[in-house]
């Protein structure tokens, strides 16, 4: 007489969750809130942004002065500080997996690799975008309550004079997070990726012109931060190009970094 033995297996639903796009998004969402360094860095980015902007709005000395008082969205000038921290957040979202070795599990779950990369980029960019817009609305309400910037008093958030500058400043926050994710995928090492960002993309526009021949010195105008400054100027800056060109430049940088990161992922982690 023979006895049937049942071998335990994963349920079909669980297997599908592991390999579908929804399953990958859920996995990345769980990682975001279970890895301490990630949510702490994310919280620090927006705490820094809200804290510094709130101080400037309440104080009113700088934003309401003669030079800046006519710019209703001048308070978004602090947003680059938050963007720096979000770049680090994006890098850590990838590098922590490589440092711990858990990336092997992620790539085994999704053999095509591209899905893991896209899911991580989507979750990091998505949560950064939601928090960025929530931050902007909160700071706008504080601005109206304090009334320290004469040109912004009573002005709707969606008034053209306010909206385009605010929108450009707000979008730079998730852009920084996505930029960090792609740098993380490209270098896989937190120290290397962060040093590359600060050395080339953050400090490069100030340092490189001193070492480049005169005909090439203008190349720094086409680096990400230069394009971001034009995009968040709300149309007040059109040199050496306008907002539409700035957006194209920013998307080109993302495409280039993303392409290199995808190539390395497919070639060396395949």
Going residue by residue through the chain, which has 270 residues, state the pLDDT in tens, using 9 for 90 and above: 444 444 344 344 444 445 788 888 998 999 999 999 999 999 999 999 999 999 989 987 776 565 666 788 988 999 999 999 999 999 999 999 999 988 888 888 777 788 899 999 999 999 999 999 999 999 999 999 998 888 888 999 999 999 999 999 999 999 999 999 999 999 999 999 999 999 999 998 888 888 888 878 888 999 999 999 999 988 787 778 999 999 999 999 999 999 999 999 988 775
How far is it, in rounded angstroms, from Cα 123 to Cα 137?
21
Q: Where are the domains of the chain?
A: 19-191
Q: Is the pTM of this model over 0.75?
A: yes
Cβ proximity of 128 and 174 under 8 Å: yes
How far is it, in rounded angstroms, from Cα 122 to Cα 126?
6
How far is it, in rounded angstroms, from Cα 143 to Cα 269?
49
């Amino acid at each position: 007489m023979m006895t049937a033995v049942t071998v335990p297996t994963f349920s079909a639903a669980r297997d599908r969750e592991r390999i579908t796009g929804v399953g990958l998004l859920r996995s990345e969402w769980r990682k975001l809130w279970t890895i301490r360094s990630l949510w702490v860095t994310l919280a620090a980015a927006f705490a820094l942004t809200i804290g510094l902007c709130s101080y400037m709005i309440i104080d009113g000395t700088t934003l309401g002065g003669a030079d800046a008082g006519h710019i209703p969205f001048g308070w978004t000038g602090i947003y680059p500080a938050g963007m720096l921290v979000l770049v680090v957040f994006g890098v850590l979202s990838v590098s922590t997996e490589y440092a711990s070795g858990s990336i092997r599990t992620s790539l085994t779950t999704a053999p095509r690799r591209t899905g893991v990369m896209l899911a991580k980029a989507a979750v990091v960019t998505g949560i950064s975008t939601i928090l960025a817009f929530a931050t902007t609305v909160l700071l706008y309400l504080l601005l109206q309550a304090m009334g320290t910037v004469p040109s912004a008093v009573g002005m709707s958030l969606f008034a053209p004079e306010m909206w385009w500058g605010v929108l450009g400043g707000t979008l730079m926050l998730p852009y920084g997070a996505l930029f960090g994710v792609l740098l993380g995928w490209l270098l896989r090492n937190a120290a290397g990726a962060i040093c590359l960002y600060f050395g080339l993309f953050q400090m490069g526009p100030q340092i490189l012109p001193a070492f480049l021949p005169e005909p090439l010195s203008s190349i720094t105008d086409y680096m990400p931060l230069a394009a971001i400054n034009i995009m968040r100027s709300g149309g007040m800056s059109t040199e050496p190009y306008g907002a539409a060109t700035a957006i194209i430049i920013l998307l080109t940088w993302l495409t280039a970094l993303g392409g290199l990161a995808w190539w390395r992922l497919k070639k060396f982690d395949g």
